[in-house]
Structure 1
Amino acid sequence: MEESADREAGVLQSKRAATRYQILVGIAERQPAVSQREIADDIGITAQAVSDYLQGLIEEGYVRSPGRGRYEVTKEGVDWLIGRTDELREFVGHVAEDVIGQVEIETALATAPIMEGEAVSLSMRGGVLRATPGATGSTTAVAVTSADPGRDVGVTDFEGVLDYDLGRVTAVSIPRVQDGGSAAVETATFAGHAADADLVATAGTEAYAAAQAADLDPDVRFGTPEAVGEAAARGLDILLLAVADELSTHLDRLRDGNINYRVVDTAE
């Protein structure tokens, strides 16, 4: 009866359910060759306790053992994990949106004198969050600090949705030096895109050399995927020149952030 209750309890309600969850995750990460000692060390219990939990998980059909020291999570075990993971995701979302969101403080740029406690309207321009006195905009907040025009001001208690378009990234793959480097690129194929971009970013020495060959002065010389993604998320259009080895990482980050991008062919 107790085991059945633990099986149905959420991982935030039962220490036993939480431990079962961690052990199943540990098996899924390591299967089929699973070290009970490694799992024990990871979650802070004894190897004997892991063995006892494993026996119960096998009996319930959540884990199967095709051989000594070999364990695999079954479909039933995966389904149980998914259910508990969805529960955790909902709880984290509640904390982020309903709890932390109520006390979250963002930084904006004051467009006019702002007094602490004053209602402000928020807007995104030039990739910068801006606060204007008065609650007339579609997105409002309350200032938690005072600020002169052009200075940073803390804001909280947000209402409404910030209305602005995400930026777009025009990505250019630059060969590694051993594959020809910047000399293998026809700069005319991407130089014209700079006029339509808010920022020019380079990632890698070959990319910087290609920018210079096209008479472009990069705004961001060390363009990390995080920096480029953040700039686009703030509404800036970016021309990104990246060494071929680094470009896929940038594109993965853009896809994860739902940022539009296109890749320009620069082959001569």
Structure 2
Amino acid sequence: MAPSEDPDESTGPRVLDNRRDATRYRVLVEIAARQPAVSQEEIADVIGVTSQAVSDYVRDLVDGGFVEKRGRGRYEVTKEGVDWIITRTDALSEFVSRVSDDVLGSVDVDAAVATDALEEGDDVGLEMRDGVLHAVPEGGSAATAVVVTGGEPGEAVGVTDFEGVVEYDPGVVTVVPVPAVTEGDPPSPDVIRDRATEADLVAV
């Protein structure tokens, strides 16, 4: 198996382009984690390929100058190999950050309780009932959304593409902080009991 590119090539393999480049990257990372005593069988178990496949990848990495063989079962990643791992890992990190920030960050999904059986793609209205957001068949609601994960009545469904403002009655929330016994004097149990008695809902 010939190396797919020269260690000095600026672009190198993009590890997400195909399975071979992704496996090559993982094999090199596992060698770096285990060096100098490297068990190809262990690497095969970790990444889910055969020992023969790992042997072929190791030979490829040695021929490419990424790994140096020190003896039977003993390998060390070269400076070129370390640089290769760093550049590919940086590229992967940038890609993951872009997906997290630009892609997933732009998809605002919330949960609502279905009042009827709902399917993905259904248009629904949003209503606040007893402090819980509900998804109802569209009609008459000031706020609307689109279902992204369906469900049966009473189940939580995912909704997105919000429009409008959910109508609700403002309420009052009382918060009683209870510090750890080592951080100060806790409030009197009578105070907590009185606050709990006055509240419609209590959470801990």
Tell me the TM-score range normalised by the shorter chain: 0.5 to 0.7
Give 2:90's aligned residue. 86
- Report the TM-score, using the length of structure 2 for normalisation: 0.55
**Worse-matched range after superposition: 39-48 or 94-103:** 94-103
Contact 2:68 2:77 in 1 (8 A): yes
Distance 1:92 1:11 in 2: 13
Per-residue deviation, 1:63:
0.9
Match of 2:25 in 1: 21
The alignment of Structure 1 onto Structure 2 pairs a total of residues equal to 136
2: CA distance, partners of 1:2 / 1:74: 15
The corresponding residue for 2:137 is none
Residue identity (%): 46
Q: Post-superposition shift, 1:105?
A: 3.1
Would you say 1:68 and 2:68 are equivalent positions?
Answer: no
In the alignment, structure 1 residue 58 sits paired with structure 2 residue 78: no
The verdict on how the C-alpha distance between 1:145 and 1:58 changes in structure 2, with shifts beyond 3 A counting, is farther
Task: Name the counterpart of 1:247.
Answer: none
Give the whole-Å Cα distance in 1 for the aligned partners of 2:91 and 2:166: 41
Matching residue's letter, 1:215:
D
- Are 1:116 and 2:117 an aligned pair? no
TM-aligned CA deviation for residue 102 of structure 1: 1.6
Task: Report the equivalent of 1:95.
Answer: 99
- The unaligned stretches of length 5 or more in structure 1 are 119-140, 152-197, 203-207, 218-268
Give the drift of 1:65.
2.1
Tell whether 2:45 aligns with 1:44. no
SS in 2 for 1:66: strand
CA distance in 1, matches of 2:164, 2:37: 54
Aligned-pair CA distance for 1:4: 2.4
Q: Which has the higher helix share?
A: 1
CA 1:57–1:2 in structure 2 vs 1: closer, same or farther (change >3 Å)?
Answer: closer
Q: 1:215 matched to which residue of 2? A: 185
The correspondence of residues 103-252 of structure 1 with structure 2, limited to 5 A, is 103-105=107-109, 115-117=142-144, 146-149=166-169, 201-202=179-180, 208=181, 210-211=182-183, 214-217=184-187
The secondary structure found in structure 2 opposite 1:64 is strand
Q: Is the 8 A contact 2:15 2:88 kept in 1?
A: yes
Tell me the distance in 2 between the aligned counterparts of 1:148 and 1:59.
68
Letter aligned with residue 75 of structure 1: K
SS at match of 2:83: helix
Q: Secondary structure of the residue that 1:65 maps to in structure 2? A: strand
Deviations 1:192-230 (A, max 9, x none): xxxxxx96754xxxxx3x34xx4245xxxxxxxxxxxxx
Q: Does 1:32 align with 2:41?
A: no
User: Structure 1 145/61 Cα, relative in aligned 2: closer, same or farther at 3 Å?
Assistant: farther
* Structure 1 residue ranges, 4+ long, deviating more than 6 angstroms after superposition: none
Alpha-carbon shift at residue 9 of structure 1 (Å):
2.3
Distance 1:103 1:26, change over 3 A: same
SS state of the match for residue 36, structure 2? coil
Q: Which amino acid in structure 1 is aligned with residue 83 of structure 2?
A: D
